[in-house]
């Protein structure tokens, strides 16, 4: 069943009181923060953010201010998944460059503190937009300038000198899509629960038809409208969140992932395919392509069908991981079960774009 716009806003907004295993050991956490977080003063109060189900995220309030804690889920995890240390490395490298990320405070790799690795960053107060239709916007101009800001911020990320940011070892420079197809194939195999013909065809087609990589940049890996915080009263991105899938790679991975919104129905989330974009003020995909190309010095982009096939394949792999965790009982959110049911439709969508890209 599709999520209505208000459902998405309610479902993912605000914090809830953590219960049971989700509750953090406040005495141990306070002691660690006093020793490792500059300026921190206890006592602390904790709340768990309702949105997201990959790395559980908490709001920490204290006399010295508000902070955000992101931790790995408890229980058995797939190799390389939930890499909070990589998230921390990204924001610690980007913050001094002026790129909009939360202030990094510290990373803890001692599981004795709260039971898993975690990091602390500053709390950024602003707006999160869960619905690409932006039902709360004042009008078409606000929507257009918000979309422009999202694309301009992505172009800025892809223009960061990653060596100067201390991120030259954040990933390998070449063959990004080859490594990603291999990675998501392996992750899918590790969490496979049934045989899906479309996934089998994609696993054969994608590595045999890899596009040429012409640039290397910092890649966010999950860049979309609800993974950023906008200023309260203007269409300005003040923090890009959720760097779990970040690496060095082909910037077209990020751009084509954003572009998925134009080939995805809304359903109360980031898709804009079935909206009256002209009436709403949402730019068309060719306008977004032109803006990104102008900001990054490109004279155009290659055919996007292969990239869409890859992105839907990757999403199917991610959802399959969530599905396996639902079955194993380690998923962090009730919303995870609904997401786990999306694997087959995503695989089918990926295969249809593969066919448009020439797959037989």
Residues 6+ apart with CB under 8 A from 121: 67, 68, 70, 88, 91, 101, 102, 103, 104, 105
The total number of structural domains in the chain stands at 2
- Using pLDDT thresholds of 50, 70 and 90, give the confidence band for residue 224: very high
Let me know if residue 201 belongs to a domain: yes
Let me know if residue 76 belongs to a domain: yes
Same domain membership, residue 95 and residue 174: no
CATH of the domain at 64: 3.30.200.20
As a whole number of angstroms, the distance between CA 315 and CA 317 comes to: 5
Of 92, 122, 152, which one is at a domain's C-terminal end? 122
Q: What is the pLDDT of residue 342?
A: 85
Q: Which two tokens stand for residue 272?
A: 């804009």
- Using pLDDT thresholds of 50, 70 and 90, give the confidence band for residue 37: very high
Instruction: Average the pLDDT over 256-271 and give the result.
Output: 95
Residue 32 preceded by cis peptide, ω within 30:
no
Domain that holds residue 61: 5-122
Same domain membership, residue 277 and residue 172: yes
pLDDT at 86 over 60: yes
pLDDT at 148 over 80: yes
300-356 pLDDT, tens digit per residue, is: 999 999 999 999 999 999 889 888 887 787 766 666 667 767 899 999 999 999 999
Q: What is the pLDDT of residue 333?
A: 63
């Amino acid at each position: 069943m599709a999520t209505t716009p208000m459902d998405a806003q309610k479902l993912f907004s605000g914090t809830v009181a953590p219960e049971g295993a989700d509750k953090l050991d406040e005495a141990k956490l306070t002691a660690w923060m006093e020793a490792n977080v500059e300026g921190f003063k206890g006592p602390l109060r904790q709340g768990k953010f309702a949105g997201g189900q990959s790395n559980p995220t908490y709001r920490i309030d204290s006399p010295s201010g508000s902070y955000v804690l992101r931790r790995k889920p408890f229980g058995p995890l797939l190799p390389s998944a939930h890499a909070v240390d990589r998230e921390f490395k990204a924001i610690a490298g980007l913050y001094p460059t002026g790129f909009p990320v939360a202030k990094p405070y510290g990373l803890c790799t001692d599981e004795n503190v709260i039971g898993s690795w975690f990091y602390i960053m500053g709390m950024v107060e602003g707006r999160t937009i869960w619905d690409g239709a932006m039902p709360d916007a004042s009008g078409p101009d606000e929507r257009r300038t918000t979309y422009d800001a999202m694309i301009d911020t992505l172009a800025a990320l892809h223009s960061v000198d990653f060596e100067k940011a201390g991120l030259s070892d954040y990933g390998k420079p070449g063959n990004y899509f080859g490594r990603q197809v291999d990675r998501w194939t392996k992750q899918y195999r590790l969490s496979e629960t049934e045989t899906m013909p479309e996934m089998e065809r994609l696993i054969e087609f994608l590595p045999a038809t890899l596009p040429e990589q012409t640039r290397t940049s910092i890649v966010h890996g999950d860049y979309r409208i609800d993974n950023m915080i906008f200023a309260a009263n203007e269409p300005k991105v003040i923090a890009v969140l959720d760097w779990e899938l970040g690496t060095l790679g082909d910037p077209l991975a990020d751009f084509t992932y954003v572009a998925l919104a134009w080939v995805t129905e809304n359903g109360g989330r980031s898709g804009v395919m079935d909206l009256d974009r002209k009436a709403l003020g949402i730019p068309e995909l060719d306008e977004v392509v032109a803006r990104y190309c102008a900001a990054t010095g490109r004279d155009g982009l290659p055919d996007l069908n292969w990239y869409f096939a890859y992105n839907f394949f990757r999403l199917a792999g991610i959802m399959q991981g969530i599905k396996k965790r639902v079955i194993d009982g380690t998923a962090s959110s009730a919303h995870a079960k609904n997401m786990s049911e999306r694997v087959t439709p995503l695989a089918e969508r990926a295969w249809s774009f593969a066919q448009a890209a020439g797959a037989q």
